[in-house]
Structure 1
Amino acid sequence: MILETERLILREYTMADYDALSQILTDPEAMQHYPKPYDAAGVTRWINWSLENYDKYGFGLWAVVRKETGEFIGDCGITLQPIDGEWLPEIGYHIHKSHWRRGYAREAAGAVRDWAFTHTDYPALYSYMAYTNLPSYRTAESAGMTRRKEYADEKNGTTLVYSITRAEWEALIQK
């Protein structure tokens, strides 16, 4: 286990998560803000990429599991992403559509934000998303992030960038 919240456990992926993750990544509705849903090989690459990130950086996307049931409901974590030409630490989140609008992404993203600022030296954390992805902006804002800019991205089209600085996070946790 990496993190624990009131309702969730975030842990490293294993290949045993393949079927549950596949339900998210291959679903056109869940992946509507991506260029296209993933295929079976893409799901395997996603897990392998996460495992490589754990070894290389000590973090990555972590499986999000409901404490109460042990059910895998998605992922959330930190990855280095190319955001408007710079490799930046991004908080990413993907929750199974049967669990949307229950605050799980918000809860996981807040815990990941706190973990990142206490376990890394990053001066800021970012989230980026397609302009059309309103639920993702809300999750970023609930994690204390502010919209910083918009740019044209070949993968996402019009892309929004949100971030929170270490100083902003410190002020947030003092409240």
Structure 2
Amino acid sequence: MEKKMIETERLILREMTEQDFDALFAVLGDPEVMQHYPNVFDETKVREWIHRNIERYEIFSFGLWAVVLKETGELIGDCGLTMQQIGGNIKPEIGYHIRKDMQRKGYGTEAAKAVIDWAFTNTPFQILYSYMKHTNAGSYRTAISAGMKLVEEFPDKVNGITKVYAITREEWIALKKESILCSVETQSQL
């Protein structure tokens, strides 16, 4: 049984299952989507990816979740919270992969914002990170759109140069207050 974790205006984020293989392979096996990774995922790596996230749910109660269109039920990628080694330290990281034909529609940002909200509501983390290869403009635009700021750049063997974006709990709270104020102002103008 699928466990729904997060619901947004257009998306449902839920735990991955083995039945998600074909849809995830369409994302992680796509050379364009994975161009900033060391390798495109083959079938074995996609199966390992699903199993690793299922283990994460059991250990941490979070991981990368399947991103599903609410309207159609179609899986279009993944997004979630994982513990990653960033610059030599293990840090909570927001990661995301969206199928090529679904990119540039705001789904990555919508999912990332929802995961940030979930993480600050359900974990004690005081700061969340997102890291990527310096050439991955789509990924860092998503991080910025989700409220993150560039906090570090460093050379590494895998990415050449890695960019690290972050948002603190205090910054998230300020963004939430600002969003509520904007919503109230809009309502009063109607």
TM-score (norm 1): 0.99
Rounded to whole Å, the distance in 2 between the matches of 1:153 and 1:99 is: 30
Alignment-mate amino acid for residue 32 of structure 2: E
Counterparts of 1:23-42 in structure 2, within 5 Å, are: 23-42=26-45
Q: Are residue 148 (structure 1) and residue 151 (structure 2) matched? A: yes
Rounded to whole Å, the distance in 2 between the matches of 1:19 and 1:155 is: 27
Query: Which residue among 65, 82, 89 is the counterpart of 2:85?
Result: 82
Query: Which residue among 161, 172, 183 is the counterpart of 1:169?
Result: 172
Q: Are residue 49 (structure 1) and residue 47 (structure 2) matched? A: no
Counterparts of 1:1-175 in structure 2, within 5 Å, are: 1-175=4-178
Rounded to whole Å, the distance in 1 between the matches of 2:110 and 2:54 is: 23
Question: Post-superposition, which runs of at least 4 consecutive aligned residues in structure 1 deviate over 4 A?
Answer: none
Alignment-mate amino acid for residue 120 of structure 2: F
Alignment-mate amino acid for residue 170 of structure 1: I
User: How far does the alpha carbon of each residue in 1:29-49 deviate from its partner, in whole angstroms, 9 at most, with x for none?
Assistant: 110000110111100110000
Rounded to whole Å, the distance in 1 between the matches of 2:156 and 2:78 is: 23
Rounded to whole Å, the distance in 1 between the matches of 2:25 and 2:156 is: 26
Identical amino acids, percent of aligned pairs: 58
SS at match of 2:68: strand
User: How far does the alpha carbon of each residue in 1:1-57 deviate from its partner, in whole angstroms, 9 at most, with x for none?
Assistant: 100000000000000000110011111111000011011110011000000000000
- What is the number of equivalent residue pairs in this alignment? 175
SS at match of 1:65: strand
Unaligned runs of 5+ in 2: 179-190
TM-score (norm 2): 0.91
User: How far does the alpha carbon of each residue in 1:99-130 deviate from its partner, in whole angstroms, 9 at most, with x for none?
Assistant: 01000000000000000000000010000000
Alignment-mate amino acid for residue 56 of structure 1: I
Kindly state the Cα deviation for residue 98 of structure 1 after the two structures are TM-superposed.
0.9
